[in-house]
Amino acid sequence: MTNEQLIEHLSKAYPDEVALQGNQYPEITVSREILHAFMQNMKSDSNLSFDYLVCESGVDYPAFLQVVYHLESTTHKHFLVVKSNTENRETPALDSVSDIWPTAEFHEDEIFDLLGIKFNNHPHLRRLFLDETWGFPLRKDFYDDIHVVER
């Protein structure tokens, strides 16, 4: 599908969510309640068949945390960016997609480690790079009082 067709298809199937053309790829922001069902559909729908999770990244915004999924279909060759926001910054949580794409398990470990987003139904959520004494370094309000020298 071309980008326009993809956006049209998604806006028809999910009228409550916002689908638009980004700088390069079509983007859709999905509410966290339907995230898992939406992703399941992205992979199983034969017109879409997004079977390759290219990249999963966490982003810190002032009011919430966001997880961005870059999806590609190896059969149809189209690309989609899916975003989902957490409810707040204090107890951020989203549903895990690791049962849909196994690679997500480790990307989610990384996001949990660096941003502190909890993933529900994740098989084995653990800190990947850092140990328990660290906070969540990729958050904007993170302050490292051991390694940063104030001038």
Partner 1 sequence: MAEIIEKFITGDEIKTDEYLVNMGPQHPSTHGVLRLLVKLEGEIVHNVEPHIGYIHSGIEKMTEALSYPQVIHLTDRMDYLSAHMNNEAVCLCIENALQVEVPERVKYIRTIFDELQRLASHQLWWCASGMDLGALTAFFYGLRDREDILDIFEETCGARLTLNYSVPGGVMFDIHPDFQRKVKEFVKKFKKKIPEYDKLLTGNIIFQNRTKGVGILSKEDAIAFGVTGPTGRASGFSCDIRKHHPYSAYPYIKFDEKLGTDGDSFMRWKLRMDEMRESLHIIEQLIDNIPEGDYGVKMKAVIKLPEGEFYQRVETARGEFGVYIISDGKKNPYRIKFRSPGFSNLFAINHIAKGWKIADLVAIMATFDLVIPDIDR
Binding site for partner 1 (CB under 8 A): 22-25, 51-55, 57, 59-60, 68, 70, 74, 77, 81, 101-103, 105-107, 110, 114, 128-130, 137-138, 142
Nearest residue (CB) to partner 1, 70 versus 118? 70
Shortest Cβ 49–partner 1 spacing (Å): 11
Query: What distance in Å separates the CA atoms of residue 119 and residue 50, rounded to the nearest whole number?
Result: 21
Enclosing H/E stretch for 67: strand 65-72
Check residue 140 and report its DSSP letter: T
Nearest residue (CB) to partner 1, 33 versus 45? 45
Helical ranges in the chain per DSSP H:
3-13, 35-44, 104-115
Instruction: Look at the block and give the residue holding tokens 């059969």.
Output: 75
Shortest Cβ 39–partner 1 spacing (Å): 14
Nearest residue (CB) to partner 1, 14 versus 52? 52
